[in-house]
Amino acid sequence: MPKWFNNAGPCKTDIHYMLSPLARLPELTQIIEQQGYFIIHAPRQMGKTTAMLTLAQELTASGRYTAVMLSVEVGAAFPHDPGTAEAAILSSWTNAAKFRLPPELQPPLWPEANPGQRIGAALSEWAHNSPRPLVVFIDEIDSLQDETLIAVLRQLRSGYPNRPQGFPHALALVGVRDVRDYKVASGGSNRLNTSSPFNIKLKSLTLRNFTLAEVTQLYEQHTTATGQIFTTEAVEQAFTLTQGQPWLVNALAKEIVEELRIAPTQPITREHIDTAKEILIQRRDTHLDSLAYLLQEERVKAVIEPILAGKELGNIPSDDVQFLIDLGLCYMNPQGGLAIANPIYQEVLPLVLTQTPQASLPRIAPSWLTPEGKLDPEQLLQAFLSFWRQHGEPLLKSAPYHEIAPHLVLMAFLHRVVNGGGTLEREYAIGSDRMDLCLRYGNVTLGMELKVWRQGRPDPIKVGLEQLDRYLTGLGLDNGWLVIFDQRQGLPPIAERTTTELTTTPSDRTVVVIRG
């Protein structure tokens, strides 16, 4: 049977290329032997469900345990009605156990119990009647909220002392967030307070990304099956772009093999990886599109906005920084500072945020193209100036992140340009106080530096020219744009204050300075 790269739900060994799902969680066997209750948290599409399903199958096959992966997601529809949520959850558990366990290990009929006590009573009855110690992995735990979440967690804590005869021998809560970030609206908080109803946890574990060696190993499975090789440069580029994020690693390969349909006799090259990357970014598949929802959270915005603006984080609670790391949006750069998790996310986050400004854009005729369809940088400049003077003021109000509203409006305009057949690359870093843009259209490459002139700060032109000089050096260009958005108070309208001037960088590169 042929195998495929998987980017939709748990992997199956018979149809998917996959790595050992437990290699990234080597300590689980020991925790289970200790009768541990623990947390598995990691971003979506990291392999949590695949790992827990596999571990449950292995534990049951060993003959030592009754082990099963169960989900509580169906209870999410009833955040303020624990009784109804419990009934839905237990019904789904019965169905799941029927397909995942042999008949002699399946649960007995769930006992009668009062609302708010049914999960605990069911697990107690099952553990008591199971011929082997019961091990339960509860998936999608953080889909539950409010009274229902509290009720489930308290029942688990209440039954914990009765293990293993009267409650599961070992148990894991599996989700995106660590227990401290489970959402609880009661009491005016949107997260659990420090006195957690699940303070019995032995450990909180997370799944790391794939290493370069593991990405190589995964792609080599395709080579073994089909004879088609991934060049060393292709594998290294896939790792660089994804930093080993499992969904992205699989999605790039799947796009190349199934959609681009590169012939099996043809090697997969770095250029194929780059093409697939652009397709994923522009298409914003489910995994990437889900980032839009996360960016609306205030705790996420408080961290992502200054990163995109190149500002310092300021007085951000350490828990909020860890929250972004737990979600897989950021990581601590060994060279210093918080950074976006990988280059693909670095491209996608601003793209997601430009969605509203893009939807608000008027129709713009492509006056920047020559009759032959090539990009004319001078005409592009004039088109942007006309657009900015006429529409900049109202469009700034449509941008979701105030600190980078001018950046988002400019990017929304440039996306209209590249949609005709180019690409737009972005570079930004915390504390850099800038954003770099590189527009590529045919044989034309245009480098831009974006700066903001804020209240009480000096004119950023000197620093901006120095930074643009370094950026153009990296791109191998002799000219570019320095765009300075003036955000000081008491200024004339954008239509009146937008100007351009021609100057040079310290290395004598020609630069158009746009002020607006």
pLDDT at 296 over 80: yes
pLDDT-derived band at 420 (thresholds 50, 70, 90) equals low
Which of 346-355, 421-430, 469-478 reaches the highest mean pLDDT?
A: 469-478
Residue position matching structure tokens 């080597």: 26
Least confident of 49-58, 431-440, 458-467, 470-479: 431-440
Between 90 and 338, where is the model more confident? 90
CATH number among 3.40.50.300, 2.40.50.110, 1.10.240.10, 3.40.50.2300, domain 28-205 = 3.40.50.300
Beta bridge partners of 59: none
Q: What is the pLDDT of residue 256?
A: 96
Q: Would you state the pLDDT for residue 36?
A: 94
Average pLDDT (217-237) is: 96
Characterize 417-445 residue by residue with b for buried, 16 or more Cβ atoms within 10 angstroms of its Cβ, and e for exposed: bbeeebbbbbbbbbeebbbbbbbbbeeeb
Q: In what order do the strands lie in the sheet with 499-504?
A: 422-428, 435-441, 444-453, 479-486, 510-515, 499-504
Tell me the torsion sign for CA atoms 97, 103, 107, 111: positive
Give dist(CA 42, CA 327) in Å, integer.
Answer: 7
Spatial distance between the Cα atoms of 11 and 54, rounded to a whole number of angstroms: 10
Question: What was the pLDDT predicted at 199?
Answer: 72
pTM of the model: 0.83
- Find the largest Cα–Cα distance for the chain: 82
Across 143-221, where does the E strand assignment appear? Answer: 170-175, 204-205
Query: In which residue are the tokens 């002799």 written?
Result: 478
Structural domain boundaries in the chain: 28-205, 212-283, 354-515
CATH fold of 212-283: Helicase, Ruva Protein; domain 3 (1.10.8)
Please give the structure tokens belonging to residue 343. 């280059």
Tens-digit pLDDT profile for residues 97-122: 999 999 999 999 999 999 999 999 99
Helix (H) or strand (E) holding 512: strand 510-515
pLDDT for 90:
98
pLDDT range class, residue 192, cuts 50, 70, 90: low
Residue type present at position 28? L
Strands 444-453 and 435-441: antiparallel
**Model confidence at 194: pLDDT above 50:** no
The average pLDDT across 430-450 equals: 87
Contact 449, 431 (CB under 8 A): no
> Could you tell me which residues are beta bridge partners of residue 232?
none
Q: Give the integer Cα–Cα distance in Å for 417 and 421.
A: 8
Percentage, residues of the chain above pLDDT 90: 57
Q: Across all residues in the chain, what is the average pLDDT?
A: 89
Is the distance from CB of 449 to CB of 464 less than 8 angstroms? yes
Cα separation values, 379 from 347, 368, 376, 411, 501, Å: 26, 5, 5, 17, 16
Average pLDDT, integer, range 327-354: 86
Angle at 136 between CA 134 and CA 140, to 5 degrees: 170
Could you tell me the CA-to-CA distances from 124 to 71, 148, 318 in Å, in that order?
17, 19, 38
| Confidence class for position 332, pLDDT limits 50, 70, 90 | confident
In the structure encoding, which two tokens stand for residue 405, read together?
């509203």
Q: At which residue do the structure tokens 């607006």 appear?
A: 516
